[in-house]
A and B are shown apart, each in its own frame.
Chain A
Amino acid sequence: MPESLLRCTGVDIEVGDVTVALSLELDIQAGQCWCLLGCNGIGKTTLLHTLAGLRVPAAGRIDLNGTPFKQLKRRHIARQLGVLFQNSEDSFPASVFETVLQGRHPHLHSWQWETDKDREIASGALTRLDLGALKNRNVQTLSGGERQRVAIATLLAQQTRLLFLDEPTNHLDLRHSLDILDMLRAECRDKGKAVLIVLHDINLAARFADHILLLLGDGEARSGSKQEILDTALLERLYGCRLIELETHTGTAWVPE
Chain B
Amino acid sequence: MRLFSTLALALALVAFGGAARAHDLQIGDLELGHPWIAEAPPGAPTAAGYVDIANQGETPDRLLAVRCAFAERAEIHEMTIDDAGTMQMRPLPQGLEIPGGQTVKLERGGFHLMFMHVMERPVAGDMIPVTLVFEHAGEVEAMFMVQKAADGGMEMDDGMEMEMESGQ
Question: Are the chains A and B members of one assembly?
Answer: no
Q: Which residues of B are in contact with A by a Cβ distance under 8 Å?
A: none
